[in-house]
Structure 1
Amino acid sequence: MALNPRQRQLLDFVRQHETVSVEELARKFDVTPQTVRRDIKAMEEAKLLSRYHGGVGLASSVENIDYLQRQSLQLGAKRGIAAEVAKRVKPGCSLLINIGTTTEEVARALVNHQDLHVITNNLNVASILCDNPTSEVILAGGVVRKRDRAIIGEATSDFIRQFKVDIGIIGISSIEPDGTLRDFDPREVRVAQTIIEQSREVWLVADGNKFGREALVRMGHISQVDKLFTNIRPPESLMKIMKTSGVEAVIAAAKG
Protein backbone atom coordinates (compact mmCIF):
# COMPACT_ATOMS: atom_id res chain seq x y z
CA MET A 1 0.00 0.00 0.00
CA ALA A 2 1.31 3.47 -0.95
CA LEU A 3 0.27 5.83 1.86
CA ASN A 4 -0.78 9.38 1.08
CA PRO A 5 0.53 12.16 3.39
CA ARG A 6 -2.59 12.17 5.61
CA GLN A 7 -2.53 8.38 5.99
CA ARG A 8 1.16 8.46 6.93
CA GLN A 9 0.48 11.14 9.54
CA LEU A 10 -2.47 9.14 10.84
CA LEU A 11 -0.32 6.02 11.14
CA ASP A 12 2.42 7.96 12.96
CA PHE A 13 -0.19 9.40 15.36
CA VAL A 14 -1.51 5.91 16.18
CA ARG A 15 2.04 4.67 16.74
CA GLN A 16 2.57 7.47 19.28
CA HIS A 17 -0.72 6.85 21.13
CA GLU A 18 -1.10 3.04 20.67
CA THR A 19 -4.91 3.12 20.54
CA VAL A 20 -7.06 6.03 19.31
CA SER A 21 -10.78 6.51 18.60
CA VAL A 22 -12.08 7.26 15.14
CA GLU A 23 -13.61 10.50 16.41
CA GLU A 24 -10.29 11.68 17.87
CA LEU A 25 -8.54 10.97 14.56
CA ALA A 26 -11.23 12.88 12.66
CA ARG A 27 -10.75 15.92 14.93
CA LYS A 28 -6.96 15.68 14.76
CA PHE A 29 -6.82 15.64 10.95
CA ASP A 30 -9.91 17.80 10.33
CA VAL A 31 -11.71 15.20 8.21
CA THR A 32 -14.97 13.29 8.56
CA PRO A 33 -15.20 10.03 10.51
CA GLN A 34 -16.10 8.34 7.21
CA THR A 35 -12.76 9.45 5.72
CA VAL A 36 -10.91 8.11 8.75
CA ARG A 37 -12.75 4.78 8.49
CA ARG A 38 -11.78 4.47 4.82
CA ASP A 39 -8.14 5.16 5.69
CA ILE A 40 -8.25 2.66 8.55
CA LYS A 41 -9.86 0.00 6.35
CA ALA A 42 -7.12 0.38 3.72
CA MET A 43 -4.35 0.21 6.32
CA GLU A 44 -6.02 -2.72 8.07
CA GLU A 45 -6.04 -4.63 4.77
CA ALA A 46 -2.31 -3.89 4.52
CA LYS A 47 -1.94 -5.11 8.15
CA LEU A 48 -0.51 -1.80 9.30
CA LEU A 49 -3.38 -1.15 11.74
CA SER A 50 -6.00 -3.20 13.56
CA ARG A 51 -9.52 -2.10 14.50
CA TYR A 52 -10.65 -2.61 18.08
CA HIS A 53 -13.98 -1.88 19.78
CA GLY A 54 -14.31 1.89 19.66
CA GLY A 55 -10.97 2.63 18.06
CA VAL A 56 -7.85 1.60 16.19
CA GLY A 57 -4.37 0.40 17.17
CA LEU A 58 -1.21 -1.02 15.72
CA ALA A 59 -1.20 -4.36 13.95
CA SER A 60 0.48 -7.34 15.61
CA SER A 61 4.21 -7.07 16.22
CA VAL A 62 4.40 -10.86 16.45
CA GLU A 63 3.25 -11.97 13.00
CA ASN A 64 4.34 -10.64 9.61
CA ILE A 65 2.01 -9.85 6.72
CA ASP A 66 1.20 -12.85 4.51
CA TYR A 67 3.87 -13.45 1.84
CA LEU A 68 1.50 -13.21 -1.14
CA GLN A 69 0.14 -9.94 0.19
CA ARG A 70 3.67 -8.57 0.75
CA GLN A 71 4.53 -9.37 -2.88
CA SER A 72 1.98 -6.83 -4.11
CA LEU A 73 2.47 -4.16 -1.41
CA GLN A 74 4.56 -1.18 -2.56
CA LEU A 75 5.56 -3.10 -5.69
CA GLY A 76 6.47 0.02 -7.67
CA ALA A 77 8.61 1.26 -4.78
CA LYS A 78 10.37 -2.11 -4.49
CA ARG A 79 11.13 -2.14 -8.21
CA GLY A 80 12.54 1.38 -7.99
CA ILE A 81 14.72 0.37 -5.03
CA ALA A 82 15.92 -2.71 -6.92
CA ALA A 83 16.85 -0.62 -9.95
CA GLU A 84 19.00 1.70 -7.81
CA VAL A 85 20.74 -1.31 -6.23
CA ALA A 86 21.40 -2.85 -9.65
CA LYS A 87 23.04 0.39 -10.87
CA ARG A 88 25.63 0.08 -8.13
CA VAL A 89 26.47 -3.63 -8.40
CA LYS A 90 29.52 -4.09 -10.60
CA PRO A 91 30.12 -7.13 -12.83
CA GLY A 92 32.02 -9.86 -11.05
CA CYS A 93 30.74 -8.93 -7.56
CA SER A 94 30.13 -11.49 -4.86
CA LEU A 95 26.82 -11.05 -3.05
CA LEU A 96 24.88 -12.46 -0.13
CA ILE A 97 21.13 -11.93 -0.62
CA ASN A 98 18.62 -12.79 2.08
CA ILE A 99 14.88 -13.26 2.50
CA GLY A 100 12.18 -10.84 1.42
CA THR A 101 10.03 -9.58 -1.41
CA THR A 102 12.28 -6.54 -1.92
CA THR A 103 15.41 -8.66 -2.22
CA GLU A 104 13.55 -10.79 -4.77
CA GLU A 105 12.96 -7.65 -6.83
CA VAL A 106 16.69 -6.93 -6.52
CA ALA A 107 17.39 -10.39 -7.95
CA ARG A 108 15.13 -9.62 -10.93
CA ALA A 109 16.99 -6.35 -11.51
CA LEU A 110 20.33 -8.23 -11.49
CA VAL A 111 19.32 -10.99 -13.89
CA ASN A 112 21.31 -9.50 -16.79
CA HIS A 113 24.44 -8.60 -14.79
CA GLN A 114 27.63 -10.38 -15.75
CA ASP A 115 29.68 -12.85 -13.70
CA LEU A 116 27.99 -12.42 -10.34
CA HIS A 117 28.69 -14.86 -7.50
CA VAL A 118 25.56 -15.04 -5.36
CA ILE A 119 25.01 -16.91 -2.09
CA THR A 120 21.40 -16.84 -0.90
CA ASN A 121 19.05 -18.44 1.61
CA ASN A 122 16.05 -17.54 -0.56
CA LEU A 123 14.82 -20.19 -3.00
CA ASN A 124 12.99 -17.51 -5.00
CA VAL A 125 16.18 -15.46 -5.44
CA ALA A 126 18.08 -18.58 -6.51
CA SER A 127 15.38 -19.45 -9.05
CA ILE A 128 15.38 -15.94 -10.51
CA LEU A 129 19.16 -15.65 -10.82
CA CYS A 130 19.56 -19.14 -12.27
CA ASP A 131 18.23 -17.59 -15.50
CA ASN A 132 21.52 -15.66 -15.76
CA PRO A 133 23.93 -17.95 -17.65
CA THR A 134 27.06 -16.03 -16.57
CA SER A 135 26.38 -15.99 -12.84
CA GLU A 136 27.10 -18.56 -10.16
CA VAL A 137 24.34 -19.15 -7.62
CA ILE A 138 25.05 -20.96 -4.34
CA LEU A 139 22.07 -22.00 -2.24
CA ALA A 140 22.44 -22.20 1.54
CA GLY A 141 21.21 -25.32 3.31
CA GLY A 142 18.76 -25.42 6.18
CA VAL A 143 15.04 -25.63 6.93
CA VAL A 144 12.71 -24.39 4.16
CA ARG A 145 9.93 -22.13 5.46
CA LYS A 146 7.14 -23.16 3.12
CA ARG A 147 5.11 -19.96 3.08
CA ASP A 148 7.86 -17.90 1.38
CA ARG A 149 10.53 -20.47 0.40
CA ALA A 150 13.05 -18.99 2.83
CA ILE A 151 15.85 -21.16 4.19
CA ILE A 152 16.53 -20.58 7.88
CA GLY A 153 18.10 -22.12 10.97
CA GLU A 154 21.52 -22.74 12.51
CA ALA A 155 22.66 -24.85 9.55
CA THR A 156 21.98 -21.89 7.27
CA SER A 157 24.09 -19.54 9.39
CA ASP A 158 26.91 -22.10 9.61
CA PHE A 159 26.90 -22.48 5.82
CA ILE A 160 27.05 -18.71 5.21
CA ARG A 161 30.04 -18.35 7.56
CA GLN A 162 32.19 -20.12 4.95
CA PHE A 163 32.04 -17.03 2.71
CA LYS A 164 33.22 -13.42 2.77
CA VAL A 165 31.47 -11.34 0.09
CA ASP A 166 31.72 -7.88 -1.41
CA ILE A 167 28.12 -6.90 -0.63
CA GLY A 168 25.40 -8.27 1.62
CA ILE A 169 21.91 -7.22 0.49
CA ILE A 170 19.33 -7.61 3.22
CA GLY A 171 15.67 -6.77 3.78
CA ILE A 172 14.00 -5.95 7.08
CA SER A 173 10.46 -5.66 8.48
CA SER A 174 10.92 -2.71 10.83
CA ILE A 175 13.21 0.32 11.14
CA GLU A 176 12.55 2.19 14.40
CA PRO A 177 13.18 5.93 14.86
CA ASP A 178 16.30 5.20 16.95
CA GLY A 179 17.76 3.05 14.14
CA THR A 180 16.90 -0.34 15.62
CA LEU A 181 16.25 -2.98 12.94
CA ARG A 182 13.63 -5.63 13.74
CA ASP A 183 12.00 -8.67 12.19
CA PHE A 184 9.53 -11.40 13.18
CA ASP A 185 11.34 -14.77 13.14
CA PRO A 186 14.39 -15.28 15.42
CA ARG A 187 15.79 -17.88 13.00
CA GLU A 188 15.54 -15.44 10.11
CA VAL A 189 17.17 -12.73 12.24
CA ARG A 190 20.17 -14.93 13.09
CA VAL A 191 20.79 -15.61 9.40
CA ALA A 192 20.59 -11.87 8.61
CA GLN A 193 23.07 -11.14 11.41
CA THR A 194 25.45 -13.70 9.91
CA ILE A 195 25.13 -12.07 6.47
CA ILE A 196 26.11 -8.73 8.02
CA GLU A 197 29.15 -10.32 9.65
CA GLN A 198 30.28 -11.95 6.39
CA SER A 199 29.87 -8.89 4.12
CA ARG A 200 32.44 -6.19 3.41
CA GLU A 201 29.57 -3.81 2.70
CA VAL A 202 25.95 -4.08 3.85
CA TRP A 203 23.11 -2.65 1.75
CA LEU A 204 19.67 -2.51 3.36
CA VAL A 205 16.63 -2.44 1.06
CA ALA A 206 13.37 -1.26 2.65
CA ASP A 207 10.31 0.59 1.39
CA GLY A 208 8.90 3.50 3.40
CA ASN A 209 6.26 1.39 5.17
CA LYS A 210 9.06 -0.14 7.25
CA PHE A 211 9.82 3.14 9.08
CA GLY A 212 8.39 2.95 12.58
CA ARG A 213 6.60 -0.36 11.98
CA GLU A 214 6.36 -2.74 14.93
CA ALA A 215 8.18 -6.10 14.92
CA LEU A 216 9.19 -8.43 17.73
CA VAL A 217 12.84 -9.46 17.29
CA ARG A 218 15.86 -7.16 17.27
CA MET A 219 18.16 -7.86 14.32
CA GLY A 220 20.66 -5.02 14.65
CA HIS A 221 21.10 -1.28 14.16
CA ILE A 222 21.19 1.03 11.16
CA SER A 223 24.82 1.90 12.05
CA GLN A 224 25.80 -1.61 10.85
CA VAL A 225 24.63 -0.70 7.35
CA ASP A 226 26.62 1.13 4.65
CA LYS A 227 23.71 2.08 2.36
CA LEU A 228 19.95 2.27 2.88
CA PHE A 229 17.90 2.02 -0.32
CA THR A 230 14.33 3.23 0.15
CA ASN A 231 11.61 5.13 -1.68
CA ILE A 232 10.97 8.05 0.71
CA ARG A 233 13.17 10.24 2.84
CA PRO A 234 13.62 8.58 6.25
CA PRO A 235 12.33 10.41 9.35
CA GLU A 236 14.64 13.22 10.50
CA SER A 237 15.58 11.46 13.74
CA LEU A 238 16.75 8.48 11.70
CA MET A 239 18.54 10.67 9.15
CA LYS A 240 20.58 12.26 11.95
CA ILE A 241 21.64 8.83 13.22
CA MET A 242 22.53 7.71 9.70
CA LYS A 243 24.60 10.84 9.08
CA THR A 244 26.50 10.35 12.34
CA SER A 245 27.11 6.68 11.47
CA GLY A 246 28.13 7.36 7.85
CA VAL A 247 25.15 5.53 6.34
CA GLU A 248 24.25 6.68 2.83
CA ALA A 249 20.54 7.09 2.02
CA VAL A 250 19.58 6.31 -1.59
CA ILE A 251 16.04 7.50 -2.38
CA ALA A 252 14.56 5.64 -5.36
CA ALA A 253 11.69 6.69 -7.60
CA ALA A 254 8.91 4.15 -8.00
CA LYS A 255 8.82 2.07 -11.18
CA GLY A 256 5.81 0.58 -12.91
Structure 2
Amino acid sequence: MSQTIRHPEILEIARREGKVTVDGLAAHFGVTLQTIRRDLTDLAEEGRLERVHGGAVLPSGTTNIGYEERRVLNPEVKDAIARACAAEIPNDISLFLNIGTSTEAVARALSGHRNLLVVTNNMNVANILAGHGSCEVIVTGGQLRRTDGGLVGNLAGNTIKQFKVDLAVIGCSALDKDGDLLDFDIQEVGVSQTILRQSRKTFLVADGSKFTRSAPARIASLEAIDTFFTDAPLTADLAAKCKGWETEVVVAPDGAPCLE
Protein backbone atom coordinates (compact mmCIF):
# COMPACT_ATOMS: atom_id res chain seq x y z
CA MET A 1 0.00 0.00 0.00
CA SER A 2 1.45 3.38 -1.03
CA GLN A 3 1.79 6.34 1.29
CA THR A 4 -0.76 8.27 -0.79
CA ILE A 5 -3.33 5.69 0.31
CA ARG A 6 -2.03 5.39 3.90
CA HIS A 7 -1.87 9.11 4.68
CA PRO A 8 -5.63 9.88 4.39
CA GLU A 9 -6.46 6.79 6.46
CA ILE A 10 -3.89 7.73 9.11
CA LEU A 11 -5.51 11.18 9.38
CA GLU A 12 -8.97 9.63 9.62
CA ILE A 13 -7.82 7.34 12.46
CA ALA A 14 -6.24 10.35 14.23
CA ARG A 15 -9.47 12.34 13.93
CA ARG A 16 -11.55 9.41 15.15
CA GLU A 17 -9.34 8.39 18.07
CA GLY A 18 -7.49 11.60 18.88
CA LYS A 19 -4.04 10.09 18.35
CA VAL A 20 -2.20 7.36 16.46
CA THR A 21 0.68 5.12 17.53
CA VAL A 22 3.54 3.79 15.43
CA ASP A 23 2.97 0.22 16.64
CA GLY A 24 -0.78 0.37 16.05
CA LEU A 25 -0.47 1.79 12.53
CA ALA A 26 2.26 -0.69 11.56
CA ALA A 27 -0.02 -3.55 12.60
CA HIS A 28 -3.04 -1.97 10.91
CA PHE A 29 -1.31 -1.51 7.54
CA GLY A 30 1.03 -4.50 7.75
CA VAL A 31 4.15 -2.38 7.18
CA THR A 32 7.34 -1.75 9.13
CA LEU A 33 7.69 0.66 12.04
CA GLN A 34 10.20 2.65 9.99
CA THR A 35 7.65 3.10 7.20
CA ILE A 36 5.06 4.46 9.64
CA ARG A 37 7.61 6.78 11.23
CA ARG A 38 8.33 8.23 7.78
CA ASP A 39 4.58 8.64 7.16
CA LEU A 40 4.12 10.49 10.44
CA THR A 41 7.13 12.68 9.80
CA ASP A 42 5.76 13.61 6.37
CA LEU A 43 2.34 14.45 7.82
CA ALA A 44 3.93 16.47 10.62
CA GLU A 45 6.00 18.46 8.11
CA GLU A 46 2.78 19.24 6.25
CA GLY A 47 1.26 20.51 9.51
CA ARG A 48 -1.45 17.85 9.54
CA LEU A 49 -0.20 15.99 12.65
CA GLU A 50 2.07 16.69 15.61
CA ARG A 51 4.65 14.07 16.53
CA VAL A 52 4.65 12.79 20.11
CA HIS A 53 6.54 9.94 21.73
CA GLY A 54 5.44 6.73 20.06
CA GLY A 55 3.07 8.30 17.57
CA ALA A 56 1.26 11.51 16.68
CA VAL A 57 -1.76 13.64 17.60
CA LEU A 58 -3.91 16.17 15.80
CA PRO A 59 -2.25 19.60 15.67
CA SER A 60 -3.20 22.06 18.40
CA GLY A 61 -3.33 25.15 16.23
CA THR A 62 -5.43 28.30 16.45
CA THR A 63 -7.86 27.28 13.70
CA ASN A 64 -10.61 24.69 14.01
CA ILE A 65 -10.89 21.83 11.53
CA GLY A 66 -13.55 22.37 8.86
CA TYR A 67 -17.24 21.91 9.56
CA GLU A 68 -17.68 19.09 7.05
CA GLU A 69 -14.78 17.22 8.66
CA ARG A 70 -16.28 17.77 12.12
CA ARG A 71 -19.72 16.69 10.94
CA VAL A 72 -18.46 13.23 9.93
CA LEU A 73 -16.11 12.88 12.91
CA ASN A 74 -17.36 10.30 15.46
CA PRO A 75 -21.03 10.52 14.39
CA GLU A 76 -22.10 7.36 16.25
CA VAL A 77 -20.44 8.59 19.44
CA LYS A 78 -22.04 12.04 19.12
CA ASP A 79 -25.45 10.44 18.57
CA ALA A 80 -25.02 8.28 21.69
CA ILE A 81 -24.02 11.32 23.75
CA ALA A 82 -26.96 13.27 22.31
CA ARG A 83 -29.43 10.52 23.24
CA ALA A 84 -28.09 10.43 26.80
CA CYS A 85 -28.40 14.21 27.01
CA ALA A 86 -31.90 14.31 25.48
CA ALA A 87 -33.06 11.70 27.99
CA GLU A 88 -32.34 14.26 30.75
CA ILE A 89 -34.18 17.12 29.02
CA PRO A 90 -37.79 17.37 30.22
CA ASN A 91 -40.77 18.48 28.16
CA ASP A 92 -42.35 21.91 28.59
CA ILE A 93 -39.16 23.93 29.09
CA SER A 94 -37.14 26.69 27.42
CA LEU A 95 -33.84 25.52 26.01
CA PHE A 96 -30.75 26.99 24.41
CA LEU A 97 -28.64 25.09 21.85
CA ASN A 98 -25.42 26.71 20.63
CA ILE A 99 -23.06 26.17 17.71
CA GLY A 100 -21.55 22.75 17.03
CA THR A 101 -22.10 19.32 15.55
CA SER A 102 -22.70 17.83 19.01
CA THR A 103 -25.55 20.24 19.77
CA GLU A 104 -26.96 19.51 16.32
CA ALA A 105 -27.03 15.83 17.31
CA VAL A 106 -28.96 16.82 20.45
CA ALA A 107 -31.46 18.72 18.29
CA ARG A 108 -32.06 15.55 16.25
CA ALA A 109 -32.52 13.56 19.47
CA LEU A 110 -35.34 15.86 20.61
CA SER A 111 -37.83 14.54 18.06
CA GLY A 112 -39.98 12.92 20.76
CA HIS A 113 -40.11 15.95 23.07
CA ARG A 114 -43.15 18.19 23.49
CA ASN A 115 -43.71 21.89 24.09
CA LEU A 116 -40.12 23.11 23.89
CA LEU A 117 -39.08 26.69 23.30
CA VAL A 118 -35.63 26.50 21.71
CA VAL A 119 -33.43 29.56 21.31
CA THR A 120 -30.39 29.01 19.10
CA ASN A 121 -27.57 30.81 17.31
CA ASN A 122 -27.07 27.76 15.08
CA MET A 123 -28.84 27.81 11.70
CA ASN A 124 -28.37 24.05 11.39
CA VAL A 125 -30.17 23.47 14.70
CA ALA A 126 -33.01 25.73 13.51
CA ASN A 127 -33.32 23.75 10.27
CA ILE A 128 -33.29 20.42 12.14
CA LEU A 129 -36.09 21.59 14.46
CA ALA A 130 -38.10 23.36 11.73
CA GLY A 131 -40.19 20.23 11.13
CA HIS A 132 -40.77 19.60 14.85
CA GLY A 133 -44.41 20.67 15.26
CA SER A 134 -44.28 20.78 19.08
CA CYS A 135 -41.17 22.95 19.26
CA GLU A 136 -41.08 26.73 18.97
CA VAL A 137 -37.77 27.95 17.54
CA ILE A 138 -36.23 31.40 18.02
CA VAL A 139 -33.09 32.26 16.04
CA THR A 140 -30.90 34.93 17.61
CA GLY A 141 -29.69 36.71 14.53
CA GLY A 142 -26.11 37.92 14.34
CA GLN A 143 -23.19 37.69 11.94
CA LEU A 144 -23.51 34.49 9.90
CA ARG A 145 -20.42 32.30 9.95
CA ARG A 146 -20.85 30.66 6.59
CA THR A 147 -18.45 27.82 7.35
CA ASP A 148 -20.84 26.18 9.83
CA GLY A 149 -24.10 28.13 10.02
CA GLY A 150 -23.22 29.77 13.34
CA LEU A 151 -24.49 33.22 14.32
CA VAL A 152 -22.02 35.27 16.36
CA GLY A 153 -21.28 38.82 17.39
CA ASN A 154 -23.01 41.53 19.43
CA LEU A 155 -26.46 41.03 17.90
CA ALA A 156 -26.45 37.34 18.85
CA GLY A 157 -25.29 38.16 22.37
CA ASN A 158 -27.80 40.98 22.85
CA THR A 159 -30.65 38.73 21.70
CA ILE A 160 -29.65 36.03 24.18
CA LYS A 161 -29.69 38.62 26.99
CA GLN A 162 -33.43 39.01 26.41
CA PHE A 163 -34.00 35.45 27.65
CA LYS A 164 -33.58 33.48 30.87
CA VAL A 165 -33.89 29.86 29.74
CA ASP A 166 -34.43 26.78 31.88
CA LEU A 167 -31.55 24.86 30.31
CA ALA A 168 -28.62 25.46 27.98
CA VAL A 169 -26.89 22.69 26.05
CA ILE A 170 -23.52 23.78 24.74
CA GLY A 171 -20.52 22.23 23.03
CA CYS A 172 -16.88 23.24 22.84
CA SER A 173 -13.89 22.69 20.57
CA ALA A 174 -11.51 21.38 23.23
CA LEU A 175 -11.28 20.51 26.94
CA ASP A 176 -8.12 21.30 28.84
CA LYS A 177 -6.81 18.82 31.41
CA ASP A 178 -7.75 21.21 34.21
CA GLY A 179 -11.37 21.28 33.08
CA ASP A 180 -11.45 24.49 31.04
CA LEU A 181 -13.79 24.58 28.03
CA LEU A 182 -11.95 26.04 25.02
CA ASP A 183 -12.82 27.36 21.57
CA PHE A 184 -11.23 29.00 18.55
CA ASP A 185 -13.50 31.96 17.75
CA ILE A 186 -13.44 34.81 20.28
CA GLN A 187 -16.86 36.02 19.11
CA GLU A 188 -18.34 32.56 19.65
CA VAL A 189 -16.76 32.39 23.10
CA GLY A 190 -18.46 35.64 24.08
CA VAL A 191 -21.83 34.31 22.94
CA SER A 192 -21.32 31.02 24.81
CA GLN A 193 -20.43 32.91 28.01
CA THR A 194 -23.64 34.93 27.67
CA ILE A 195 -25.61 31.69 27.21
CA LEU A 196 -24.20 30.31 30.47
CA ARG A 197 -25.12 33.49 32.35
CA GLN A 198 -28.68 33.46 30.99
CA SER A 199 -29.43 29.81 31.83
CA ARG A 200 -30.75 28.28 35.04
CA LYS A 201 -29.09 24.94 34.31
CA THR A 202 -26.28 23.96 31.94
CA PHE A 203 -25.32 20.78 30.07
CA LEU A 204 -22.10 20.21 28.11
CA VAL A 205 -21.91 17.66 25.27
CA ALA A 206 -18.38 16.77 24.14
CA ASP A 207 -16.84 13.51 22.95
CA GLY A 208 -13.52 12.14 24.18
CA SER A 209 -11.55 13.48 21.21
CA LYS A 210 -11.92 16.99 22.72
CA PHE A 211 -9.49 15.95 25.50
CA THR A 212 -6.71 15.50 22.93
CA ARG A 213 -7.22 18.88 21.27
CA SER A 214 -6.35 22.43 22.24
CA ALA A 215 -7.82 25.84 21.39
CA PRO A 216 -6.72 29.33 22.43
CA ALA A 217 -9.87 30.91 23.90
CA ARG A 218 -11.44 29.98 27.26
CA ILE A 219 -15.23 29.76 27.60
CA ALA A 220 -15.55 28.64 31.22
CA SER A 221 -14.65 25.85 33.61
CA LEU A 222 -16.52 22.58 34.01
CA GLU A 223 -17.31 24.05 37.42
CA ALA A 224 -19.95 26.15 35.62
CA ILE A 225 -21.59 23.04 34.13
CA ASP A 226 -24.29 21.04 35.91
CA THR A 227 -23.95 17.87 33.80
CA PHE A 228 -21.22 16.85 31.35
CA PHE A 229 -22.18 14.22 28.76
CA THR A 230 -19.25 12.43 27.10
CA ASP A 231 -18.20 8.97 25.92
CA ALA A 232 -14.93 8.41 27.79
CA PRO A 233 -14.06 8.29 31.50
CA LEU A 234 -12.26 11.34 32.83
CA THR A 235 -8.80 11.22 34.33
CA ALA A 236 -8.81 10.57 38.06
CA ASP A 237 -7.68 14.15 38.72
CA LEU A 238 -10.39 15.76 36.59
CA ALA A 239 -13.06 13.37 37.90
CA ALA A 240 -12.12 14.44 41.45
CA LYS A 241 -12.39 18.11 40.47
CA CYS A 242 -15.82 17.53 38.93
CA LYS A 243 -16.94 15.81 42.12
CA GLY A 244 -15.78 18.80 44.15
CA TRP A 245 -17.54 21.17 41.75
CA GLU A 246 -20.71 19.04 41.90
CA THR A 247 -20.54 18.65 38.13
CA GLU A 248 -22.20 15.36 37.22
CA VAL A 249 -20.42 13.34 34.51
CA VAL A 250 -22.50 10.98 32.36
CA VAL A 251 -20.70 8.55 30.07
CA ALA A 252 -22.53 7.40 26.91
CA PRO A 253 -23.62 5.14 25.30
CA ASP A 254 -25.21 3.65 28.40
CA GLY A 255 -25.83 7.01 30.01
CA ALA A 256 -24.32 5.82 33.28
CA PRO A 257 -23.04 8.38 35.80
CA CYS A 258 -19.26 8.39 36.17
CA LEU A 259 -18.58 7.48 39.80
CA GLU A 260 -14.82 7.98 39.83
TM over 0.5: yes
Query: Counterpart amino acid of 2:74?
Result: Q
Aligned to 2:6: none
Contact 2:168 2:195 in 1 (8 A): yes
Contact 1:111 1:128 in 2 (8 A): no
Distance 1:10 1:240 in 2: 28
Displacement over 4 Å in runs of 4+: 1-4, 7-11, 35-38, 55-58
What is the count of residue pairs matched by the alignment? 231
Aligned to 2:125: 125
Aligned to 2:33: 32
Distance 1:118 1:187 in 2: 21
Aligned to 2:137: 137
Contact 2:13 2:19 in 1 (8 A): no
Is 1:99 aligned to 2:99, yes or no?
yes
What's the offset of the Cα at 1:48?
7.5
Aligned to 2:202: 202
Aligned to 1:15: none
Contact 1:211 1:234 in 2 (8 A): no
1:160-201 Cα distance to aligned partner (Å, 9 max, x none): 011111110000011111111110000000000001001111
Contact 1:204 1:229 in 2 (8 A): yes
What's the offset of the Cα at 1:141?
1.1
Aligned to 2:8: none
Aligned to 1:251: 251
Is 1:191 aligned to 2:191, yes or no?
yes
Distance 1:229 1:175 in 2: 13
What's the offset of the Cα at 1:60?
3.9
Distance 2:94 2:156 in 1: 18
What's the offset of the Cα at 1:218?
1.0
TM-score, length of structure 1 as denominator length: 0.81
What's the offset of the Cα at 1:235?
1.9
What's the offset of the Cα at 1:253?
1.6
Distance 1:248 1:198 in 2: 20
SS of 1:200's equivalent in the other structure is coil
Query: Counterpart amino acid of 1:88?
Result: E
Q: Structure 1: where are the runs of 5+ without partners?
A: 12-21
Is 1:217 aligned to 2:217, yes or no?
yes
Query: Counterpart amino acid of 2:90?
Result: K
Aligned to 1:14: none
Aligned to 1:165: 165
Q: Structure 2: where are the runs of 5+ without partners?
A: 1-11, 27-31, 255-260
Distance 1:232 1:36 in 2: 28
Is 1:112 aligned to 2:112, yes or no?
yes
| Counterparts in 2 of 1:244 and 1:144: CA distance versus 1, 3 Å | same
Distance 2:87 2:176 in 1: 27
Distance 1:76 1:56 in 2: 24
Is 1:67 aligned to 2:67, yes or no?
yes
Matched-pair identity in %: 40
Contact 1:61 1:184 in 2 (8 A): no
